[in-house]
Amino acid sequence: MQPSGIDPDRRLRVLTVARWYPSHDSPGRGSFVADLVAATAAAGVEARVASFDRVLIRGRVEWRDADRTPARDAFERVATPEALFVTPRSYGAPGIPVARIPMVRRPGSGDVDALVEDHLVALRPFVGRLVEAWRPDVLHAHTGLPDGVVAATIGRELGIPVVVSEHASTVDADLADPVVRERYLALFEPGVRLLAVSPSLADRMAGAAGAARDRIGILPDPVADASFPPADPARREADELLWVGSLGEHKGIEVLLQAFALARGGRPGLRLRLVGGERAAGERARWEVLAASLEVGGAVTFDGWLDRAGVAAAMARAAAFVHPSPSETFGVAAAEAILTGLPVATRRSGGVPWIVELSGGYGAVAGGDDPEAFATAIDAVLAGRLPVDAATARARLVEAVGEAAVASKAMELYREAATRVAAGPDRGPGPDRAGLPRLVLATGHAQARRLVADLPGELRAQLVLVLPAPVGEPDDQAAPTAADVRVIEAGPVPPPRPRPRGRSPLARLRRALFRPSPGADDLLWTAVEVAAREVGVRRPIEIVAIDAPAVAFVARLGARRATLAAGSLRWLADRWDADTTDR
């Protein structure tokens, strides 16, 4: 059943927005995104993908800003949906068009605001053109920053609901940065459905964002169950351990090799096969040296990257799958292993223990993070002390994370999101239903108090008046003002701090740590933020400016922090009056 407001004679249209998507130079990157696109397309979605093609600005630093705008303008003229959509045959979701949108990016511009801006400037005109011929019912972005934040911005502008799947294992560390956290909170606003690929990742996201856990849903990565059929137990190598993944240090390879050396002490014939390649040059050589130092070099092989069929064949041969990563958002390789009948020994990584749990316990989770605990888990798996058999474990995983099961859940989420928009935005009680601006800004105290006092009482009760610190004005309390007008004043501007001088190491340190005294704009912005928190408004904060200096101040803030309301107090009163039906 199609949601109301959508033509029932056509399929649900979903535009996936993802930097992580398979390409000629990285065919495995974002394969989980391609798997979901393919699975939902098989379930009836009319799918398209918008990814990014990074275009760096090179040359001298002083030239880069001058080059960025002309480059963006040039791409905007030619990077149309008609020109960009191509359907690759060798990678990505089969038969699904993908647009690689050129995204002009300066080298070294790694701050979050620049990251979001660069992607937004690239994607916004593309989607704006796309909706003229093919309007998506849902935007589904993968990873919160920048993809999710950019998609949420465009979705709000065009009235398209947004679903965001978080995959990033670094999300809680990233959210420790206040600027990143502020950007990320846009994903908790109306019109966006935020998802995690596992409960453990959702817990981390909620804790880092300071959000209620029930604000984050779960949509697992789909596992290609048809590509990993059950293997014949008689063809397995009883002493072969298998790892599939990159050889990066963050994957726990050092602990794996140490645990393997310990486990081999009781099983001299044990061998370890690592399928995967380097993310950075020298990683394989480093692990070869470590294996040799542990006196297990002859029992460890490095096979490099294999395609999906090659991985399935390796899983059909091994006796146990070892997953040493200390942190994993999902663990698709572990799920693939269990589907073939290969039990899993894992560290307490979050996502993989959940996969083992979903299977009914077809594996063992280390009791600690040290090599000894991991070796114990490996021994337990090799001993066959498992609560379910391979067929039962496979059936449970297919039901939980198989392609059809995940596609069905994704379709439910898409329909729910599209129905919410078709039915109109959620409205709260009272005359603030239409999202009336709540912050009024002025630079003249007495005049502002008088003007706000003239507003209807029910409207005044919803507003906060923000003022700078009074400087040389007559007694503001003499101006008529209503008791129900909330006023927040900026702090007084402190005298300037002298910049530390001297050539000593301590003087240089003081200069490095020196921060000038906050200016009038800084203090006024702080007052605006306090007022916004008081009435529950997130950035960008819409501000009704009473006088010209207030307008200029809002313009200086920039669109990321604040937007100027279309009118002033009369416009605000007219809008409130038009939206209020029960006065």
Please spell the DSSP secondary structure of 154-199, one letter per residue.
Answer: HHHHHT--EEEEE--TTHHHHTTSHHHHHHHGGGGSTTEEEEESSH
Distance CA 542, CA 563 (A): 5
Last residue of a domain, one of 160, 191, 218: 218
| Tokens 């692990």, located at residue | 287
- Pair (184, 231) in one structural domain: no
Residue 418 lies in a domain: no
Please compute the mean of the pLDDT values over residues 295-320 and round it to a whole number: 95
At 483, the pLDDT band (50, 70, 90 cuts) reads low
Contacts of 511 (CB under 8 A, 6+ apart): 499, 500
Task: Report residue 66 CA to chain centroid gap.
Answer: 31
Q: How many C-beta neighbours within 10 Å does residue 120 have?
A: 16
pLDDT at 159 over 60: yes
- Pair (62, 192) in one structural domain: yes
- In 3-state terms, the chain is what percent helix, strand and coil (to 5)? 45, 15, 40
At 335, the pLDDT band (50, 70, 90 cuts) reads very high
**Segments forming the whole domain that contains residue 499:** 439-579
At 6, the pLDDT band (50, 70, 90 cuts) reads low
Q: Are 138 and 219 in contact (CB under 8 A)?
A: no
∠ Cα 292 294 297 (to 5°)? 35
Distance CA 537, CA 311 (A): 50
| Tokens 């001058």, located at residue | 66
Laid out side by side, the sheet with 13-17 consists of: 85-86, 98-105, 46-56, 13-17, 138-142, 162-166, 192-196, 217-218
pLDDT at 75: 85
pLDDT at 479 over 50: no
At 432, the pLDDT band (50, 70, 90 cuts) reads very low
Percent of the chain scoring above 70 in pLDDT: 88
128-132, 194-198, 577-581: least confidently modelled range: 577-581
The H or E element containing residue 323 is strand 320-323
Residue 4 lies in a domain: no
Residue 358 lies in a domain: yes
Please compute the mean of the pLDDT values over residues 106-134 and round it to a whole number: 87
Q: Greater confidence, 581 or 135?
A: 135
Residue 425 lies in a domain: no
pLDDT at 25 over 50: yes
At 431, the pLDDT band (50, 70, 90 cuts) reads very low
pLDDT at 484: 64
Rounded-to-10 torsion of CA 405, 410, 412, 413: 150
Identify the CATH number of the domain in which residue 108 sits: 3.40.50.2000
pLDDT at 433 over 50: no
Please compute the mean of the pLDDT values over residues 176-194 and round it to a whole number: 91
Q: How many C-beta neighbours within 10 Å does residue 162 have?
A: 27
- Pair (138, 287) in one structural domain: no
Task: Report residue 268 CA to chain centroid gap.
Answer: 45
Please compute the mean of the pLDDT values over residues 66-72 and round it to a whole number: 78
Distance CA 303, CA 525 (A): 57
- Pair (286, 365) in one structural domain: yes
- Pair (198, 295) in one structural domain: no
Please compute the mean of the pLDDT values over residues 2-8 and round it to a whole number: 51
Quote the mean pLDDT of the chain: 87
Please tell me the total count of domains within the chain.
3
pLDDT at 3 over 60: no
